[in-house]
């Protein structure tokens, strides 16, 4: 699905923040991405999402060499991925329902074709009673679940989540992890960037550890 071969990343003329990364993400897999603050977890997620280009090395995404992709190819590949950003990125002037349905609306889909999917997804993440609420009145946990629903509405083959439990209390964090594991059971590959070791211990999975710009993988 995604393969990195000796990938390195530097910003400008600075030192490499990621060095010699080689790994693969296979279909239907579940893995954590962890490491100390500043280790480069968000940068690695951006490389996976193709919003950053590596300074060196090769990245293959869905069988395509990322270095040879034309700008017009990127949106098609990104639509096969779902991303949950750390800052949610919900639009304050849209309701929860409208935020979740936005990716399909942007693609030109008619609301009559996706309304049932949006409603089903909102109920699945526990927001069926908040469909008409706007982001400013949502709690942090509700915003997080809305962001997850928006990332899933396009039925992605892989989900990338950046600290999805960082703004919620422990019971909700466990609930979110159960949602991710259920999603994985249904066939979606999942990558969760987190530093919550307690949660990782409760839901064991393959763990990718970033430290000093290098990656170690524990299966």
Mean pLDDT across 117-121: 93
202 band by pLDDT with thresholds 50, 70 and 90: confident
Residue 167 pLDDT? 72
Q: DSSP assignment of 151-203, as one string?
A: HHTT--SEEEEESTTTTS-HHHHHHHHHHHHHHHHTT-EEEEE---HHHHHHS
Residue 27 pLDDT? 94
Sign of CA dihedral 106, 112, 116, 117: negative
Tell me what the pLDDT averaged over the chain comes to. 91
Residue 18 pLDDT? 95
Mean pLDDT across 127-148: 93
Tens-digit pLDDT profile for residues 14-59: 889 999 999 999 999 999 999 988 888 889 999 999 999 999 999 9
13 band by pLDDT with thresholds 50, 70 and 90: confident
Tens-digit pLDDT profile for residues 67-97: 998 888 988 898 899 999 888 899 999 999 9
Q: In this model, does residue 158 exceed pLDDT 80?
A: yes
- Percentage of the chain beyond pLDDT 90 is 63
Q: In this model, does residue 105 exceed pLDDT 80?
A: yes
pTM (predicted TM-score): 0.90
For residues 102 and 117, the answer to whether their CB atoms sit within 8 Å is: no
Residue 209 pLDDT? 95
């Amino acid at each position: 699905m995604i393969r990195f071969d000796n990938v390195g990343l530097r910003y400008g003329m600075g030192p490499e923040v990621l060095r010699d990364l080689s790994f693969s993400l296979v279909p239907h897999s579940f893995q954590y991405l962890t490491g100390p603050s500043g280790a480069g977890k968000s940068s690695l997620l951006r490389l996976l999402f193709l919003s950053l280009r590596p300074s060196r090395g090769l990245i293959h995404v869905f069988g395509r060499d990322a270095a040879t992709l034309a700008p017009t190819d990127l949106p098609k590949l990104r639509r096969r991925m779902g991303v949950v950003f750390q800052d949610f990125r919900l639009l304050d002037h849209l309701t929860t329902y409208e935020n979740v349905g936005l990716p399909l609306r942007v693609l030109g889909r008619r609301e009559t074709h996706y309304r049932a999917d949006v409603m089903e997804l909102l109920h699945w993440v526990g927001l069926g009673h908040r469909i008409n609420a706007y982001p400013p009145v949502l709690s942090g946990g509700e915003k997080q679940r809305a962001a997850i629903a928006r990332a899933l509405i396009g039925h992605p083959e892989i989900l990338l989540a950046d600290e999805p439990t960082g703004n919620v209390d422990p019971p909700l964090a466990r609930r979110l992890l159960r949602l991710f594991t259920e999603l994985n059971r249904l066939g979606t590959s999942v990558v969760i960037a987190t530093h919550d070791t307690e949660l990782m211990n409760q839901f064991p999975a393959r763990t990718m550890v970033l430290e000093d710009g290098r990656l170690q993988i524990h299966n």
